[in-house]
Amino acid sequence: MLYHFFEYLQNNFNTPGAGLFQFISFRAALSIIISLIISMVFGGRLIRILQKQQVGEIVRDLGLEGQLQKQGTPTMGGLIILASILIPTLLVADLTNIYIQIMLIATVWLGGIGFLDDYIKVFKKDKKGLAGKFKVIGQIGVGIIVGTMLYCSDDVKLKSKVDDTPTPHIEEVMANAEGGTSNPELWMEQSTSKTTLPFVKNNEFDYAWLVSWMGDEAQDWVWIVFIPIVILIVTSVSNGANMTDGLDGLATGTSGIIGVTLAFLAYVSGNYIFADYLNIMYIPSSGELVVFISAFVGACVGFLWYNSFPAQVFMGDTGSLALGGIIAVFAIAIRKELLIPILCGVFLIENLSVVMQVTYFKYTKKKYGEGRRIFRMAPLHHHFQKLEMHEAKIVSRFWIVGLMLAVITLVTLKIR
């Protein structure tokens, strides 16, 4: 809203200072500041409201140290995260931008699913919460919407540099880091079914290859594989974040690290000069996503003010499903979804630990008549708790691993 207001002042009255809002870097900084203020200042008030309404966490006794001390800690703190993302985005982002619209839809949709789950658990006293099939239906729904918009919208454009154009020097890149228009001779528009393939020289992959057996009609039917892939990624990452949300600050801090990485990837993908220098896909208008992800990072950091050990509030599914879904949709929008196994490696290993534990238990029970386990408890963070490692140390080490994975993700821009 403020973006459009100051754009009006700049265009019609040439108001001094209004032009600042045309710069993504300025609005990204403003976005993160507003997000931090909302989460840190108004977060405390929401926690008191949740305490007054007795919206407390119901903790099952799993035999973990300090676990029962968390009984009654306010949950549904994901509302703080949602407010800290949505309000700054609505204020300083370009609301006509297709990518901002997609992220707003995904945030509200997945946050709504998580809110329903928490509401049923807390107010309806049903520990199971929202039935799993309804969660999956909701995730499939947002996947269909996001996939359709990214594949069909005329506002979504992907461009690749013409092979014989020279790569600019770094001095030129830094001198022209923001602003400017793309030289049409340097860029060729590509199919919206393309994405980035890491670690290879020609780092673009077209999902149409998966239906190449259709011959000349492959490009017309690529949506058959593109949309299901979007659904799979959104569902997997949102559930992975939900699985990771088991220790104070674990999911929040990990998501913040991922958010910073995605902000960098979005900036270079949406800026034709950096895209030219790095020889990556140029995605016009995607730079606006930096404003959104800045609010996301601010929300995560601000929520840590209350969620770090010992937590004063838990995000619940309201926050965890939204965080994972936002990360997935964002990565797909900037065509970096194939980097998710690296960037979201913490989410991945948490998910895999559960799958491995359940599969092995069922296999050994069928073969030996007695179920055996790989880990002392799954997800993986509970395994370390069983080893009597302090909760804060587990979280810190998972953050360190997350930082290492973030650096590896960024390195893929040049290592091919």
| pLDDT value at residue 201 | 80
3-class secondary structure per residue, 73-109: CECCCHHHHHHHHHHHHHHHCCCCCHHHHHHHHHHHH
- As a whole number, mean pLDDT of residues 390-413 equals 95
Task: Give the residue among 39, 30, 4, 2 at the shortest CA–CA distance from 312.
Answer: 39
Percentage above 70 pLDDT, the chain:
90
pLDDT higher than 50, residue 179: no
Mean residue pLDDT across the chain: 89
| pLDDT value at residue 12 | 86
| pLDDT value at residue 36 | 96
pLDDT higher than 80, residue 29: yes
pLDDT higher than 70, residue 184: no
> Do β-strands 194-196 and 158-161 pair in parallel, antiparallel, or remain unpaired?
unpaired
pLDDT higher than 90, residue 59: no
- As a whole number, mean pLDDT of residues 1-28 equals 88
Give per-residue pLDDT as tens, 143-176.
999 999 999 999 999 988 776 555 555 555 554 5
- As a whole number, mean pLDDT of residues 47-76 equals 71
What pTM, to 2 d.p., does this model score?
0.92
| pLDDT value at residue 166 | 57
159: which strand partners?
A: 189, 282
Report the range of poorest mean pLDDT among 54-68, 147-161, 240-254: 54-68
Q: What token pair was written down for 187?
A: 């860029």
- As a whole number, mean pLDDT of residues 220-235 equals 95
pLDDT higher than 60, residue 215: yes
Distance CA 314, CA 247 (A): 9
**pLDDT classification of 50: cutoffs 50, 70, 90:** confident
| pLDDT value at residue 24 | 94
- Tell me which of 173 and 82 has the higher pLDDT: 82
Q: What token pair was written down for 224?
A: 């058959």
Give per-residue pLDDT as tens, 346-359.
999 999 999 999 99
Q: Where are the domains of the chain?
A: 26-58+67-339
**pLDDT classification of 279: cutoffs 50, 70, 90:** confident
What are the angstrom distances between the C-alpha of 360 and each of 100, 376, 378, 380? 43, 13, 12, 15
| pLDDT value at residue 265 | 97
Give per-residue pLDDT as tens, 314-336.
999 999 999 999 999 999 999 99
> Do β-strands 194-196 and 204-206 pair in parallel, antiparallel, or remain unpaired?
antiparallel
- As a whole number, mean pLDDT of residues 50-67 equals 66
Distance CA 251, CA 305 (A): 14
Q: What token pair was written down for 280?
A: 């990556």
3-class secondary structure per residue, the chain: CHHHHHHHHHHHHCCCCHHHHHCHHHHHHHHHHHHHHHHHHHHHHHHHHHHHCCCECCCCCCCCCCCHHHCCCECCCHHHHHHHHHHHHHHHCCCCCHHHHHHHHHHHHHHHHHHHHHHHHHHCCCCCCCCHHHHHHHHHHHHHHHHHHHHHCCCCCEEEECCCCCCCCHHHHHHCCCCCCCCCCCEEEECCCEEECCCCCCCEEEHHHHHHHHHHHHHHCCHHHHHHHHHHHHHHHHHHHHHHCCCCCHHHHHHHHHHHHHHHHHHHHHCHHHHHHHCCCECCCHHHHHHHHHHHHHHHHHHHHHHCCCCCCCCHHHHHHHHHHHHHHHHHHCCCHHHHHHHCHHHHHHHHHHHHHHHHHHHHHHHHCCCCCCCCCCCHHHHHHHCCCCHHHHHHHHHHHHHHHHHHHHHCCCCC
Distance CA 232, CA 142 (A): 11
Report the range of poorest mean pLDDT among 121-135, 156-170, 231-245: 156-170
Q: What token pair was written down for 180?
A: 């400017």
pLDDT higher than 60, residue 177: no
Distance CA 288, CA 207 (A): 25
pLDDT higher than 50, residue 181: no
